[in-house]
Amino acid sequence: MTVIRMKHRSADADTAPGKAVDVMDAAGPRVCDDMSVEVALAVMAAARTGRLAVCDEDDQRVGLVTRTDLTAVRDSGARPDRVRLRDILGDRGRVPLAAC
């Protein structure tokens, strides 16, 4: 008799470990890209996390912002209540990775 070992496969099982999707899944709270930097910092503080997964209006993940990213904007003299997360992501690209 041959023993067969099976692993449970998640919905993202075809994704290689260490890819952006894995990082995004571990990012913690998901927020919309139209959220202001000021509100995002408050969400981070409340969630006790150092990063947020950012989704667009189609619920597609478009990036990841860290506390360092947000505090840099706040400390730059820009008004954190007017700068949106999509403005920070800017040149990082908008590659849909998975639905939020």
Q: Is residue 6 part of a domain?
A: no
User: Does some domain include residue 46?
Assistant: yes
Residue 12 is assigned to a structural domain of this protein: no
Distance CA 57, CA 32 (A): 7
Distance CA(51)–CA(29), nearest Å, equals 8
Which domain, by its residues, includes 48? Answer: 20-92
**β-pairing verdict for 30-32 and 51-55:** parallel
pLDDT confidence bin for 99, thresholds 50/70/90: very low
Amino acid identity, residue 57?
A: E
Q: What is the pLDDT of residues 24-45, one digit of tens each?
A: 455 579 999 999 999 999 999 9
Judge whether residue 100 has pLDDT over 50: no
pLDDT at 6 over 50: no
Q: What is the pLDDT of residue 24?
A: 45
Strand pairing report for 30-32 and 61-66 = unpaired
Residue 32 domain-assigned? yes
42-96 confidence digits (pLDDT tens): 999 999 999 999 998 898 899 999 999 999 999 998 888 899 999 988 755 444 4
Kindly state the greatest CA–CA separation across the chain: 70
pTM: 0.65
Which CATH number characterizes residue 51's domain?
Answer: 3.10.580.10
Task: Tell me the CB-side half-sphere exposure of residue 16, using CA atoms within 13 A.
Answer: 2
Q: Is residue 53 part of a domain?
A: yes
pLDDT at position 90 is: 74
Residue 1 in any domain: the answer is no
Looking at the domain assignment, is residue 10 inside a domain? no
Please count the structural domains in the chain: 1
Q: For residue 99, tell me if it sits in a domain.
A: no
- Reported in sequence order, the residue ranges of the chain that DSSP labels E, i.e. its strands, are 30-32, 51-55, 61-66
